[in-house]
Structure 1
Amino acid sequence: MHADDLERRAAGVGLLADPVRRDLYRYVVDQPAPVSREQASVGVGVAHHVAKFHLDRLVEAGLLETEFRRPPGRSGPGAGRPTKLYRRAAAEVAVSLPLRRYDLAGSLMAEAIDSAAATGTPVLTALHDVAAARGAELAAMVANAVVPDGAPDGSTGTALAGSVDAAVEGRSDADPDVDPEEPDSVVTAACAALTDLGYEPLLADGEITLRSCPFHALVAEHTSLVCGLNLALLEGFVDVGAPGQLSARLDPAEGRCCVVLSVRS
């Protein structure tokens, strides 16, 4: 998770520490339909201008959304301006330290179950296949040479070192300082992407130790399942993002991810 992304998420959650703001948020999300400032101020028992200030702060933080609508039965000339209404935002805001990605684990498992049901493939095999494919997709952000659309054959583009979140969302946050011909640049870019994924990589003595597991809470009761998921995901990641330069292997130890990456000469 990038520092600015962590700051944005933490700020959004931190706004709810204020009791008035928290009460307004709860009031809005508990209603069956979007509410006006007047409804919120009455519902929580605060002045209209207080409700307006806090509701708009919640909108700025991405916790609420607004829409404009005229009251039922009022339309046409003379009906007045539409009323500003508040509702819960569709986007999710969560902060986890260390960063955990249970959403990713759930997505991979659901996709694997769908695939197994459709093809008859054993679920565990399907999970490893799905995880490897997802790792390869994420590695597009750290590919050591990208050929731009329409570029002549044999030409190379800029190595990508953007965040995993950017890859998932379809953005292309390229780092112009990454040299696709430099192995060190590829390893550095891979570490940056693995950081965004929650692995907290540490490069030392030719190995990348992953100091955190993004699926930590699942490990205690499903060790073999989670370790296999991690290995498949990271093998797919390094095979595409750093072919011939990084390799993944199982090497379980207390207090870190069960997978270790080796940097090849």
Structure 2
Amino acid sequence: MTTEDTDGIDGTDDSAFTALGALSDPVRRNLYRHVAATPGDVGRDAAAEAVGISRSLAAFHLDKLVEAGLLTVSFRRLSGRTGPGAGRPAKVYRRAEGEHSVSVPPRAYDSAGRLLAEVVENAGLDRALQAAARAMGATASSTDLVETLRARGYQPFWDGSTLRLRNCPFHALAAEFPALICGMNLALIEGLAPEGGWSPEMDPCPDGCCVALKSSRKSSDESSKNKSIDDRSEPQPS
């Protein structure tokens, strides 16, 4: 579920200002970035280590981000053990599903986006949209695809030899027009990806983007590494 908090013409939505204002502190901003980009839950110790602060300071700022609606909290045993002696469940954090935005002065780009998406879908212009997205991606293509995707808000992370995308920059529109927007997104990433080294495909990340990318280079490196290990394990002639 996605919620959008925007600045209204007759007044302001205080919840949006509160949420975004919580990120004015640089430590809090770094903690949010780390938790938001991490698949799964993040404990206080891991968050503190990631940004180089004490556990108590991390706990304080993480809970402030929860109060602002930017993170959610749950409890689980990080050791994986159960039963007597397993210890108390730890407090863990993950990115909240809500979407907060403020425009000063008020703007309604989201409404225009929905209207345009509806017109394109009703007119059956999916292929034209994909061609335009692929061409736009090609103009911004870079040899460092991971950094390009990170700069565009996808929050990429490695899952073996697959590059998955933690965030969908088009989440609100994709929820209403999944076939149209996900097809456009795949075409855009195909344009961004350097030829020969990557294979973008539809492979949704839970709570993230619908597209994943296979790296032929990383797969080749892992195959070579595994072959070397296998060769070493074979008995050598005396």
TM-score (norm 2): 0.45
Larger radius of gyration: 1
